[in-house]
Structure 1
Amino acid sequence: MATSQIRTFMFAGHDTTSSTMCYTLHLLSKNPTARHQLIAEHNDVLGPDYKQAAKQISERPNLLNQLLYTSAVIKETLRLYPAASSVRSGEPGCSISTPNGLQLPTDGFLIWINAYVLHNHREHWPEIDSFLPERWIVNEGDPLYPPKGADRPFGSGPRNCIGQKLAVLELKLILVLTAREFDIKSVYEEWGELHPTKGIKTLNGDRAYQIISGSAHPNDGLPCRVSLATH
């Protein structure tokens, strides 16, 4: 049992978090307005000298709680690219209703709760294809306000992800310590020129579509270029 639990924590604490970080950087590189707003928040909360960020957080870790837009960026990334889904055991007397009225018994089956489908369902999410961190900081009643129960990147209920707080904390720290110092851009077009035999692969026009490799990972490993940011 101990071995099984250790494997779970290693998987959840490394594989899914690193995949989410890749997608966060990809989306920020494709949405410069969001990136500028993220950096503005870091300057405002942590001071303009990015080299002092680690010291500031070490001395006042509660500053991370003030990074509301940073949290929204992470949530919106997980909406568009959830790293994992969850499975539940079916139960006697528990059925799933289909849109055409069929009742499907679940007893003896494993039920896969597909977070990607739920997060990309047009019935629940306005402007579904847009990267809009603002939807996570608007007030209830706003058209962008997330509907209850439609956001499940970590599952829901008593069997939700035990490491979700740690994962979000790690993602915040990485953004704080890198976003202002480095300019990280995904370069799928350049990758395609360097590897013409692989062809241009897209899913609904998305070059960074998810593939299953443990958790969900960016197609072709998210080719990118990293340079020092100009200040």
Structure 2
Amino acid sequence: MDWDLCLLGGCFLTLLSLFALKLRLRKPVHSGLQELPCLPSFPLIGSLLSLRSVHPPHVLFKKLQEEYGQTYSLMMGSHRVVVVNQYVHAKEVLLKKGKIFAGRPRTVTTDVLTRDGKDIAFGDYSATWKFHRKVVHGALHMFGQGTASIEKIICTQAQSLCSVMLEKATSEACVDLSPDLARVVTNVICSLCFNSTYPMGDPEFEAILLYSQGIVDTVAKDSLVDIFPWLQLFPNADLRLLKQCVSTRDKLLHQKYEEHKAQYSDNLQRDLIDALLRAKRNAQNNNTAEMSSEPLGLSDDHILMTVGDIFGAGVETTVTVLRWAIIYLIYHPEVQKRIQDEMDSNLGRDRSPLLSDRGSLPYLEATIREVLRIRPVSPLLIPHVALQDTSLGNFKVRKGTRVIVNLWSLHYDEKEWKHPELFDPGRFLNREGTGLSKPSSSYMPFGAGVRVCLGEALAKMELFIFLAWILQRFTFSSPAGQPPPSLEGKFGVVLQPAKYKVTVTPRWRAF
């Protein structure tokens, strides 16, 4: 009996010692740190009741600062989420501790979209992911990102856009530019990925537009199935539509990929898929020497989901920014005129704009930056996940916590921006107005750090060339007797403007 008590007491003391040791080991991380303020939370549903609002999430999260401070937490079902509304903590998440916060949450919809995280945007941070990104980065470099090949692709589509716009301007009092913008931007991506372009009405092209819109619409709904995965056991129309759209997308991608593999040659590089195939093979040949541990390879799924990423992130985002840009030019005709005067002075009407003209068109560049600030295409960056226990400022952050950087709050922070609600491209110019400046480090429309958008350079090229070409040739205004387009965006995968029509007036006929 005494022996049993001694044994029991010894076990108890051992467990107590292990527990104390664990606390001591964790103490350096959490010593002196505070718990984040948290929205009211209830069992099972978390903080969902506190998130009911007429405001879209990015605006609501900004407003909640008044009660909970600039950085606070909430519960989405069983998942703890930290919302960051200030640059100091955003910099810590994205840059200073970028690798610690580099994880991605697994959700039902993103798993369907990416074949269980085999893409770049939603794939979790790991050795395979880093290898994957390295291969994709190398492929983009080999294909010539930022060089004449991509510039020629964009300029070809810009010329096509201008031709269609001139035709419509002479036959219609007001036009919806969205379909034409979607066509040329999609064709840039198709040319980049597949070495092919499509006319409007082509069955394959229409299928691309249809499945792309279906994916955007369903993913944008932020389905409850992502908070409560067990709901997928029940009929779900949105999830069913998403699976149908992804199936259509994957059939097309698989067909293109198989064609490229069959025709592959080390001496042939027509597009990004060829470049990805070459980069993948080169990387695999050097993999063992470089990685030294276990070899890392990329499956066909990784390559297919990379192309899917480029379509998903490269079309809707660029089209949305172009649509917002036209809206703000309509609201601010003086900005539109100044851009055109700048172009007339530096380019004239004898030639079309090139990427090399960026330095001589600072006001156009500043306008693009201001559009990306005042209407960030993705107001809430894709959530990050803490891969270990860590801290954010003076606050504890535990492993597995999801972190949302509210770009909207950063871009509207009155401590960082003077009159942030006003559209003012001049804020991005130097005092002389002859060059660009960065008035605040809180400006990060493409994210930053380990998870920065891989297509940032391509997007900037497209925005500059498309806007330069159309503003050199056309002036935009609201149709007579109609109010200007709404500035209220529709929150989703991207912050989309409502549908609108414009009057397109050619500046001259001979082009």
Give yes or no for contact 2:358–2:365 (8 Å, CA) kept in 1: no
**1:26 aligned partner:** 327
Structure 1 unaligned segments of length 5 or more: list them: 193-205
Which amino acid letter does the alignment assign opposite residue 326 of structure 2?
A: L
Alignment RMSD, CA only? 2.5
**2:440 aligned partner:** 147
Give yes or no for contact 2:352–2:469 (8 Å, CA) kept in 1: yes
Q: Deviations over 1:31-85 (max 9, x none)?
A: 1111111111111221145xx316xx3xxx4123322111100000000001012
3-state SS in 2 of match to 1:180: helix
**Cα distance in 2 between the residues matched to 1:120 and 1:224:** 28
Counterpart check, 1:78 vs 2:372:
yes
Q: State the number of aligned residues.
A: 199
3-state SS in 1 of match to 2:413: coil
3-state SS in 2 of match to 1:28: helix
Give yes or no for contact 1:89–1:108 (8 Å, CA) kept in 2: yes
In the TM superposition, what is the alpha-carbon distance from 1:186 to its structure 2 partner?
5.0
Which amino acid letter does the alignment assign opposite residue 439 of structure 2?
A: P
Using the aligned pairs only, state the percent identity. 22
3-state SS in 2 of match to 1:162: coil
**1:44 aligned partner:** 345
Q: Deviations over 1:133-181 (max 9, x none)?
A: 1111125xxxx96222x00100011321111111111111111111132
3-state SS in 2 of match to 1:86: coil
**1:17 aligned partner:** 318
**Cα distance in 1 between the residues matched to 2:440 and 2:324:** 23
Scaled by the length of structure 1, the TM-score of the pair is 0.76
In the TM superposition, 1:40-189 aligns within 5 A as 40-49=341-350, 52-53=351-352, 57=354, 61-84=355-378, 85-97=381-393, 103-138=395-430, 146-148=439-441, 150-186=442-478
**Cα distance in 1 between the residues matched to 2:502 and 2:366:** 25
Scaled by the length of structure 2, the TM-score of the pair is 0.36
Which amino acid letter does the alignment assign opposite residue 385 of structure 2?
A: S
Which amino acid letter does the alignment assign opposite residue 316 of structure 2?
A: D
In the TM superposition, what is the alpha-carbon distance from 1:191 to its structure 2 partner?
7.1
**1:198 aligned partner:** none
**Cα distance in 1 between the residues matched to 2:375 and 2:339:** 19
Residues 159 and 186 of structure 1: CA distance in aligned 2, closer, same or farther (over 3 Å): farther
Which amino acid letter does the alignment assign opposite residue 79 of structure 1?
A: R
Which amino acid letter does the alignment assign opposite residue 31 of structure 1?
A: H
Structure 2 unaligned segments of length 5 or more: list them: 1-301, 432-436
The correspondence for 1:4, drawn from 288, 305, 318, is 305
Residues 46 and 78 of structure 1: CA distance in aligned 2, closer, same or farther (over 3 Å): same
**Cα distance in 2 between the residues matched to 1:66 and 1:117:** 32
3-state SS in 2 of match to 1:38: helix
3-state SS in 2 of match to 1:112: strand
In the TM superposition, what is the alpha-carbon distance from 1:227 to its structure 2 partner?
2.1
Which amino acid letter does the alignment assign opposite residue 443 of structure 2?
A: D
**2:491 aligned partner:** 212
**Structure with higher strand content:** 1
In the TM superposition, what is the alpha-carbon distance from 1:129 to its structure 2 partner?
1.2
In the TM superposition, what is the alpha-carbon distance from 1:106 to its structure 2 partner?
4.3
Q: Deviations over 1:88-112 (max 9, x none)?
A: 2213232335xxx7x2424212211
**Cα distance in 2 between the residues matched to 1:132 and 1:163:** 26
**Structure with higher helix content:** 2
**Cα distance in 2 between the residues matched to 1:168 and 1:24:** 13
Which amino acid letter does the alignment assign opposite residue 111 of structure 1?
A: V
**Cα distance in 1 between the residues matched to 2:402 and 2:464:** 34
**Cα distance in 1 between the residues matched to 2:470 and 2:398:** 46
In the TM superposition, what is the alpha-carbon distance from 1:207 to its structure 2 partner?
3.0
